Amino acid sequence: MMECEISSRKVLPAIRKELVIELMSLNKKQSEIAKLLDVTPAAINQYFKGKRAKVKLNSDEKKIIKILAKTIMNKDEEETKQICSLCKKVTSRLNKKID
């Protein structure tokens, strides 16, 4: 599988799942999270219930998620760069396991 396929099929859903969990822990409603992440409320529900995203993030990656959740809530323009950076980091880690 190409790196971009791994990212889009496995890594981005894992990042979204952890963001959903973190944002819900910050008392955000599913409908609010859906707007923040630009996905449907149904997708938020599936992330929360674990029906999407099978890749597990490690503790360092989850620390980044906590920071990223606050960035998203503040609608900081840096969020896209942070998501891309985290996605590359996780994809790289997964590629090392495959090789």
Note whether 44 and 34 are within 8 A (CB).
yes
Q: What is the dihedral of CA 40, 44, 47, 50, to 10 degrees?
A: -120
Work out the burial of residue 21: count CB atoms within 10 Å of its CB; fewer than 13 is exposed, 13-18 middle, 19 or more buried: middle
Residue in 65, 73, 86 with CA at minimum distance from that of residue 21: 65
Assess whether pLDDT exceeds 90 at residue 19: yes
Q: Mutual orientation of helices 12-25 and 41-49 as an angle, nearest 10°?
A: 90
Domain count, the chain: 1
Q: How confident is the model at residue 40 (pLDDT cuts 50, 70, 90)?
A: very high
Range of the domain at 38: 3-98
What the block records as the tokens of 93 is 């880690």
pLDDT at 94: 82
* 57-89 residue pLDDT tens: 999 999 999 999 988 888 766 666 778 888 888
Q: Give mean pLDDT, residues 16-29.
A: 94
Q: Assign residue 50 a region (left: φ > 0; alpha: ψ between -120 and 50; beta: otherwise).
A: left
pLDDT at 18: 95
